[in-house]
Amino acid sequence: MTSLVRVFFISCLLVGSAACNGEEEKPKAESSTTVEGQATWLGTGGPCEDLEQVQADQEAKENVGLVFCGNAGKTFTGELRCERNFIEVSCR
């Protein structure tokens, strides 16, 4: 189980760094904003099948949230969800 979480985390880092390097843009999950509390949900590109494992591993959950929210200049709220066939993280 931990190897799957590591692979997921490393792939998230690679996708995030590729987007920052200006390489060819690939379709990715869009973010959505909830009015209440001004929380923004950012798509990680990770499949929903991995959501349960990521939520079960607190360190992986925090790492995924910190990477994606941090890249957007926001703070991770600690919430994950599955929307539009992607894992999304809640950021403020």
Q: Do the bridges between strand 86-91 and strand 32-33 make them parallel or antiparallel, or are there none, so unpaired? A: unpaired
Q: Is-contact 50 60, C-beta < 8 A?
A: no
| Helix orientation angle between 2-20 and 58-71, rounded to the nearest 10 degrees | 10
Q: What is the pTM of this model?
A: 0.60
CA–CA gap between residue 60 and residue 83 (Å, rounded)? 19
For residue 88, the surrounding DSSP H or E stretch is strand 86-91
Q: Is-contact 88 43, C-beta < 8 A?
A: yes
Cβ count within 10 A of residue 49: 10
Q: Give the per-residue pLDDT at 27.
A: 46
The ranges assigned to domains in the chain are 2-91
Would you place residue 17 in the very low, low, confident or very high pLDDT band (cuts 50, 70, 90)? low
pLDDT 10s digits, 51-72:
999 999 999 999 999 999 999 9
